[in-house]
Chains A and B, each alone.
Chain A
């Protein structure tokens, strides 16, 4: 059982380039989300989805787009990369959006924008 799979693990982008971070889960979870992790700032929610076809903004959505065409996949798109988007990105899934459902995280994507 793979859980939550993120690709790539590492990426270097030039300012202005675009790219897509992939996230897939095989647990049939309804709820998926993207976080960024920065030193001293913990995990901050970028975008989330409560089911296929439904997405919404989190705490820090600017510069990112998401879509949820299937239950399994939740890609994160950087439209025009900026150095401020240098971070470690984590995708997470939960069975549903109830209060106490466990979040399962992928291994992360370390992104550097130069």
Chain B
């Protein structure tokens, strides 16, 4: 099934706290999992991505944890800052009709309180 389920829909975190966004999928043919960050009035931009042969990837304060057996992956934002307030989309890449396409989750609106 070409679907990625994302939760929560919205999230409020205090400055310095940890923000956690979860995604789950069914299709085991998905083979690349990026996260995109979108600020109001802007287009999404790639934040961090992971392959399913890796259980964790860290870039600065952002970490993806990947559980292949559970078909789940999550984004952790450590020491969350007000500047992290944005909408976050998980995504998965799949092969169809000769090309790789992305399927996106429904998005999580994160607000970090100062």
List A residues at the B interface (Cβ < 8 Å): 4, 31, 35, 40-45, 48, 50, 56, 58-59, 90, 92, 97-108
Inter-subunit contact B106/A100 (CB<8 Å): no
Total of A-B residue pairs, C-beta within 8 Å: 62
Q: List 27 A-B contacts (CB under 8 A).
A: A4-B43, A42-B6, A42-B89, A42-B104, A42-B105, A42-B107, A43-B89, A43-B104, A44-B104, A45-B101, A45-B103, A48-B99, A58-B101, A90-B43, A92-B43, A97-B99, A99-B31, A99-B100, A100-B32, A101-B100, A102-B46, A103-B102, A104-B45, A105-B45, A107-B41, A107-B42, A107-B43
Cα A4 to Cα B103 in complex, Å, equals 20
Pick from B6, B41, B104 the residue with the most CB of A within 10 Å.
B104
Inter-subunit contact B100/A98 (CB<8 Å): yes
